Amino acid sequence: AAPVMLSRFRGALVGSVLGDCIGGEFEGAVDVPLDRVLQHLSALEDETRGDGILQYSDDTAMMRCVSDSLLTRMPFDERDMARRFAKEYNLAPGRGYGSGVIQVLRKLASPHLKDVFQPAQAQFGGRGSFGNGGAMRAAPFALAYKSQADVCRYSRLGAMLTHSCSLGYNGAALQALAVHLSLQGALALPKEFINKLISEMEEMEKDETAQLDAKALNLSDFPYCSRLHRVKELMDRNSVSIEEVISELGNGIAALQSVPTAIFCVLHCLEPRDGLPERFGGLERTIAYSLALGGDTDTIACMAGAIAGAHYGIDSIPQSWQKSCEGVEEADDLARRLYDLYCLP
Ligand code: 8NA
Ligand code: MG
Ligand code: MG
């Protein structure tokens, strides 16, 4: 079983980097015709393409910080992780960070800071960010811990360094949990996969803070659970339009409008789909489909790519795609090292 699990680990982190790099092309676009997505993807296969490799953004930059911190400071060291985020931002501030999170990253750089969770708590009038920035970097938590409880606990804490609103950190836990289940092969039974996510989120959203945040933002109680129920309904349908997916699940920069969407992309693309080339495997379909939704395409494809990569494994990822993206080798190396750590008794 070891080689299969290693392949899944590598698939998860490489899949996430590919989603970020390939999805960057369409970030923020309202309408992305499938033709344009397929054109963008076939250009990756063209060795003579002149425009160089696709750069990664904040999603991958922060995922690398999380991985490095977990590799050196297991089980979890919030100060170390915070320092790595701040240092990375300082070295490469132009990676497309959210406009709010930049303030947190600047404060985290201060050597006098006592409580590393405080800058995130000061965001948005004390409400904290509900952006998907915690979720986009959550995959390594699924590679670092064996137990589901640890995956949830630490992915939430890791997200809280920048996202103190429960919608932000619970979205990160949902993403980490989806990668965790996918690594275990749970996508072989899609219905059970989504049911497990729903029951875990029910526990998380029972929490008083989660209930208060949902109210304050005018959302239904159990906002993630209700989105996941919509994912389940869409899964049962024979045909679903892009417009319906966007209106039911969203494609925005809020975690609530993008994590369930990424999960849907993976589930929807477990089978061949009209409009996507027959030669595409499941991971290629998942990335292509994520881009066609428009909106926060790099982050949705990054999250879907991590879940799909954990399911299909590294061998499902075309070499030409891997060669076209910045940071693939480093992600592969981080995945191998997390795997070695995971295998220690
Ligand atoms: P963030 O924490 O700054 O949140 C992103 C945005 O969400 C904020 O700038 C606000 O507009 C809004 N927001 C979040 N919480 C609240 C709140 N409580 N009240 C009102 N508004 C709120 O950044 P992040 O780390 O969550 O990043 C999210 C996305 O932004 C990612 O997709 C990332 O890639 C980035 N992004 C970058 C660009 C770009 O310029 N390249 C474009 C879109 C998104
Ligand atoms: Mg980004
Ligand atoms: Mg983004």
Length of the chain as a residue count: 345
Q: How far is the CA of 294 from the centre of ligand 2 (A)?
A: 13
Name the band, by pLDDT with cuts 50, 70 and 90, for residue 75.
very high
Q: What is the pLDDT of residue 52?
A: 79
pLDDT one-digit tens code per residue, 247-305: 999 999 999 999 999 999 999 999 999 999 999 999 999 999 999 999 999 999 999 99
Q: Which helix (H) or strand (E) holds 88?
A: helix 78-91
Measured from CB, residues less than 6 Å from any atom of ligand 1 are 27-28, 57-59, 96, 98-101, 124, 127, 129-133, 165, 253, 296, 298-299
What ipTM was predicted for this assembly?
0.96
Nearest CA to ligand 1 atom 41: 96
Contacts of 78 (CB under 8 A, 6+ apart): 116, 117, 157, 158, 161
More confident residue, 328 or 46: 328
Q: What is the pLDDT of residue 285?
A: 98
Q: How far is the CA of 177 from the centre of ligand 1 (A)?
A: 22
Contacts by 45-54 with C-beta closer than 8 Å and gap 24+?
A: 45/318, 45/320, 47/320, 53/21, 53/323, 53/324, 53/325, 53/326, 54/21, 54/22, 54/24, 54/25, 54/324, 54/325, 54/326
Q: What is the pLDDT of residue 51?
A: 67
**For ligand 1, mutation pick of 105, 253, 258 (most atoms within 8 Å of CB):** 253
Angle, in degrees to the nearest 10, between helices 297-312 and 166-183:
30
Residue 311, pLDDT > 80, answer yes
Beta carbons of 327 and 15 less than 8 angstroms apart: no
Residue 30, pLDDT > 80, answer yes
Amino acid code (one letter) for 186: A
Contacts of 304 (CB under 8 A, 6+ apart): 19, 262, 263, 265, 266, 286, 287, 289, 290
Q: d(Cα 75, Cα 81) in Å, to the nearest integer?
A: 12
Q: How far is the CA of 103 from the centre of ligand 3 (A)?
A: 17
pLDDT one-digit tens code per residue, 141-199: 999 999 999 999 999 999 999 999 999 999 999 999 999 999 999 999 999 999 999 99
C-alpha 135, offset from chain centre: 5
Question: What integer best gives the mean pLDDT of the chain?
Answer: 96
Contacts of 142 (CB under 8 A, 6+ apart): 12, 151, 155, 176, 177, 179, 180, 183, 310
Got the DSSP string for 32-49? --HHHHHHHHHHHH-TT-
Q: Mean per-residue pLDDT for 93-115?
A: 96
Q: What is the pLDDT of residue 1?
A: 55
Which residues are 131's β-sheet partners?
254
Q: Which two tokens stand for residue 329?
A: 């080798």
Beta carbons of 161 and 108 less than 8 angstroms apart: yes
Name the band, by pLDDT with cuts 50, 70 and 90, for residue 50.
low
Q: What is the pLDDT of residue 76?
A: 98
Residue 39, pLDDT > 70, answer yes
